[in-house]
């Protein structure tokens, strides 16, 4: 009896969270790419599509499903002002990006890479896909459009979740290669600073990214 209660208690938070996700998706699906909320009549078919995709993900790729649930929960916790549905759609895009575009040596390697991207997005945009800086850096990973605009069809296109993640991650990997996988130097370059910079402000940025990455990893739970 006690063992059963412990099992139910352990699984309950996950069940409640998943139920909330489904309700949000069904009734409030928004078009994040365009930055506009779609009418409910149009949104509901997309909501059913996302639900079906999530359920299929749970059956076909348990690791991807685990990542998705953890990403969504963390984004919701870190950015409570953002509509819950936006966080769900962003989480799905990140999970797709992590699992569909890369190969990993191990589950730990994948989690470390995911944690790094989550740390960058936390500091750069707060997981807001519509984020726009005064320097014209755009989207989740705050890709600097004047420098990298050639990879997008337009400025608005830079906010497209998939493209922003692909280009932003490509920039990060480029700088990791240039710095011989020195993370601090790579993050300084991602910020737009010299890898040899001693500016305390720039190094606080790196520290904040690393802190957020570690925080995500520590909060990651099997659900």
Single out the residue of 127, 152, 153, 155 nearest to residue 141, CA to CA. Answer: 127
Structure-block tokens of residue 129: 């896909």
| Mean pLDDT across the chain | 85
pLDDT tens, 106-149? 999 999 999 999 999 999 999 999 999 999 999 999 999 999 99
> Which residue in this structure is represented by tokens 């994040």?
32
pLDDT tens, 12-43? 455 555 555 554 554 444 333 334 433 344 45
Q: Which domains, and CATH codes, for the chain?
A: 2-219 (1.10.530)
DSSP, collapsed to helix, strand or coil, labels residue 114 as helix
Single out the residue of 174, 54, 70 nearest to residue 115, CA to CA. Answer: 70
pLDDT tens, 170-210? 999 999 999 999 999 999 999 999 999 999 999 999 999 99
> Which residue in this structure is represented by tokens 């009896």?
1
pLDDT tens, 57-100? 889 999 999 999 999 999 999 999 998 888 989 999 999 999 99
For the chain, the C-alpha Rg in angstroms (whole number) is 18
pTM: 0.81
């Amino acid at each position: 009896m006690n063992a059963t209660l412990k099992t139910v208690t352990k699984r309950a938070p996950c069940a409640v969270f998943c139920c909330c996700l489904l309700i949000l998706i069904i009734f409030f699906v928004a078009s994040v790419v365009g930055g506009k909320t779609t009418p409910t009549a149009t949104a509901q078919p997309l909501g059913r599509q996302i639900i079906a995709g999530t359920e299929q993900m749970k059956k076909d790729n348990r690791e991807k499903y685990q990542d998705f649930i953890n990403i969504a929960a963390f984004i919701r916790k870190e950015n409570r002002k953002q509509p819950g549905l936006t966080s769900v759609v962003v989480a799905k895009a990140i999970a797709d990006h992590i699992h569909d575009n890369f190969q990993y040596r191990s589950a730990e390697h994948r989690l470390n890479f995911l944690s790094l991207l989550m740390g960058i997005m936390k500091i750069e945009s707060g997981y807001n896909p519509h984020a726009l800086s005064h320097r014209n850096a755009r989207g989740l990973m705050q890709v600097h459009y004047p420098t990298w605009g050639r990879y997008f069809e337009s400025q608005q296109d830079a906010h497209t979740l998939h493209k922003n993640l692909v280009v932003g991650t490509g920039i990060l990997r480029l700088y990791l290669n240039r710095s011989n996988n020195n993370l601090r130097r790579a993050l300084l370059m991602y910020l737009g600073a010299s890898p040899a910079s001693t500016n305390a402000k720039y190094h606080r940025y790196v520290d904040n990214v690393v802190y957020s990455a570690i925080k995500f990893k520590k909060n990651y739970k099997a659900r």
